[in-house]
Amino acid sequence: MNAIAAPPPGLVAQRVIAVPWRHAGLIALFALAGGLASASFWPHPVAPRVEVVRPRMQAIQDAPPQGIELRLDQEPDAAALAVEAVRIAAAARVSAATLRLDAAAADDAIDAALREAPPAAGRVMRAPSAGSEHPRASLPGLAAGLLMGLLVASLRELGGQRMRSPREAQWALGAPVLGEIPTLSAKARDALIEPSRAA
């Protein structure tokens, strides 16, 4: 038995490359699970915010005309709040409410709500959208799942002492590799060892 020499150049690189190549499904599964978990555990807090808006809209209704301004642009989830605020204002025929919807300017739902029931004499201030300040809830989980998947795949591929390629087997055991057989179904195995009928 020959002494085992140092790993040939490229063997380590080959194994590193094999991590995403061989375990793409596993990594994708982890990312998907992370994204779903993230979206489930950290949903957009729409409902509680809407409840915050209602009393404030009530204050607008009770106030003298042109007295109160409700700034939704500083609220998280301004788009959802704005829709609700527009509806409440329309229903109450608030004439002096000023809704500032800067952060929610591009929301189609607001446009639809305004078309259906514009505040009677209200002034809706729109500003160019600056984009959402809060990333979608699934993105952090997606990224974490991706990293976790890469970690698990790396452990599976790089950990242990299994020989996963002919080059590695030849290096480890010091003997040539005559052949390599993939994992086959029973049917494929039977077909392979069946003597050729052409002989």
The reply to whether 197 sits near another protein by the rule CB under 8 A is: yes
74 sits near another protein (criterion: CB under 8 A): no
Helix axes 11-22, 138-158, angle to 10 degrees: 140
Q: Does 29 bind another protein (CB under 8 A)?
A: no
61 part of the interface to another protein, by CB under 8 A: no
- Based on CB atoms, which residue is closest to another protein, 71 or 164? 164
Q: Should residue 26 be labelled a site residue for another protein when binding is judged by CB under 8 A? A: no
Return d(Cα 41, Cα 152) in angstroms, integer.
23
d(CA 101, CA 131): 12
Nearer to another protein, 93 or 162 (CB): 162
Selected binder of another protein within 48, 108, 133, 178 (CB under 8 A): 178
**Contact yes or no for 90/119 (Cβ under 8 A):** yes
User: How far is Cα 22 from Cα 3, in angstroms, rounded to an integer?
Assistant: 30
Tokens of 170: 């030849």
182 touching another protein, by CB under 8 A: yes
Binds another protein (CB under 8 A): choice among 8, 17, 51, 69:
17
In 3D, which of 36, 35, 61 has the Cα closest to residue 122?
Answer: 61
Question: How many positions of this chain bind another protein (CB under 8 A)?
Answer: 41
Told to check if 159 binds another protein by CB under 8 A, we report: no
Dihedral angle computed from the Cα positions of residues 99, 102, 104 and 110, in that order, rounded to the nearest 10 degrees: 40
Q: Of 36-44, 46-54, 119-127, 167-175, which segment contacts another protein by CB under 8 A?
A: 167-175
Residues at the interface with another protein (CB under 8 A): 1, 4, 10, 13-14, 17-18, 21-22, 160-167, 169-170, 172-173, 175-184, 188-189, 191-197, 199
